[in-house]
Structure 1
Amino acid sequence: MPNPHRHLSDPRELNALAHPVRMAIVELLSISGPLTATELADRLDETPANCSWHLRKLAQHGFVEEAPGGKGRQRPWQVPGLGFRWGDEQASESIDGRRAAQALSEVTMGRAVDRLREAQQRAAEESEEWRSAHSSTEMVAWLTADELKEMNDAINAVLDRYVERLTDPQQRPPGARPCEFVAWGVLTYFPGVEPA
């Protein structure tokens, strides 16, 4: 399957998404399907007016769209795509682009770390099957730029095999639950360590 993710490079798009409430809205719509501003507000502990405002901002950049059915306050919203990818190669043309990409990365990483903490806190509530399936991996490898790109592409290819399950519930096997994978393949800097 070709990569279905929308590649972000416009600083205005990156900045529009780099807000915790907006990111939470996009995440919920991606996982739950169409929801109204009131339903989003209930799940996010926000006001319907605040969620409506953020939905309109997201819609201006094509991150959400009106879903069929409902009118006015009962109007549901949906995410038109499967996700987003961004990086310095898309945003490096300007300082604003780099700053916006960094801001979006920080919001995304912060939300992912919060969900990881919650998963760790709730692990004892899960069955042995699910606890033994959980995994955390951290490693440092000496790679060339080409090898780093190859590794990132390989990880994304594995994850892309499951993207259809996000938008098509019929593709989900019985017992499937939302599971999150967060990966970043980046240069890392240690004091006093020089390139090979």
Structure 2
Amino acid sequence: MPNPHRRLSDPRELNALAHPVRMAIVELLSLSGPLTATELADRLDETPANCSWHLRKLAQHGFVVEAEGGKGRQRPWKVPGLGFRWDEEHASGSVEERRAAQALSDVMMGRAIDRLRESQQRAPDDAEEWRAARSNTEMVAWLTADELAEMNAAINAVLDRHVERLTDPAQRPANARLCEFVAWGVPTYFPGIEPA
């Protein structure tokens, strides 16, 4: 299994990843294993030349590496690790780092929202068991900072429960499908409601 959760703080790294095509490439390589620029282009509706250019940019920062086998355009690429972590509001980070982290977060959340919308559009065509298993949840609660940290840790523990299935197909039960969970636990702001 690749090493999990590379910590990002260099604005150059954050900016290199904060591009929809590059993020799509990293996602596909994480989910589908080694792929060539041509294979990525077919899946992303891009040109092989464009995918090659983005692969080289990702490789400059160690987000992708060449896999064994192939030459030239038939050279496969893979990710050396699984996932990334970065701090949008890192107090000691520079303004440049915070801006780059926010740009990366915007790309990530935009892609997740796009996948949510596509899933909602396709839901009527899903089998009943998959329609019944779906859920959208949103809530607000009055919490202390310690309680918020505890809830976030508990949610992360649940979300990490089946992470090995991403890279080890033998771990996947029959009839398993790729599913996505997006969660954030943050202080929130409503008009007319004081934070404390």
Matching residue of 1:42: 42
Whole-angstrom CA distance in 2 between matches of 1:186 and 1:132:
29
Q: Which structure 1 residue ranges, 5 or more long, are not aligned?
A: none
Task: Tell me which amino acid in the other structure corresponds to 1:178.
Answer: L
Q: 1:174 to 1:92 in 2, by over 3 A?
A: farther
Show the 5 A alignment for 1:130-169. 130-169=130-169
Aligned-pair CA distance for 1:83 = 0.8
Aligned residues: 194
Matching residue of 2:77: 77
Q: Sequence identity of aligned pairs in percent?
A: 84
Whole-angstrom CA distance in 1 between matches of 2:187 and 2:101:
16
Aligned-pair CA distance for 1:91 = 7.1
1:50-76 alpha-carbon deviations (Å, 9 max, x no partner): 100100111111111111111111111
TM-score, structure 2 normalization: 0.94
Matching residue of 1:14: 14
* 1:82 alignment partner, SS class: strand
Q: Which structure 2 residue ranges, 5 or more long, are not aligned?
A: none
Matching residue of 2:174: 174
Q: 1:116 to 1:91 in 2, by over 3 A?
A: farther
Aligned-pair CA distance for 1:146 = 2.1
Whole-angstrom CA distance in 1 between matches of 2:29 and 2:91:
26
Q: Assess if the C-alpha contact under 8 Å between 2:64 and 2:79 holds in 1.
A: yes
Matching residue of 2:63: 63
Matching residue of 2:121: 121
Task: Tell me which amino acid in the other structure corresponds to 2:72.
Answer: G
Aligned-pair CA distance for 1:189 = 0.9
Whole-angstrom CA distance in 1 between matches of 2:89 and 2:99:
13
1:2-54 alpha-carbon deviations (Å, 9 max, x no partner): x9311212111111110000001011111111110001011111111110010
Task: Tell me which amino acid in the other structure corresponds to 1:82.
Answer: L
RMSD between aligned residues: 1.5
> Is 1:191 aligned to residue 191 of structure 2?
yes
Aligned-pair CA distance for 1:115 = 0.3
Task: Tell me which amino acid in the other structure corresponds to 1:157.
Answer: A
Whole-angstrom CA distance in 1 between matches of 2:4 and 2:151:
19
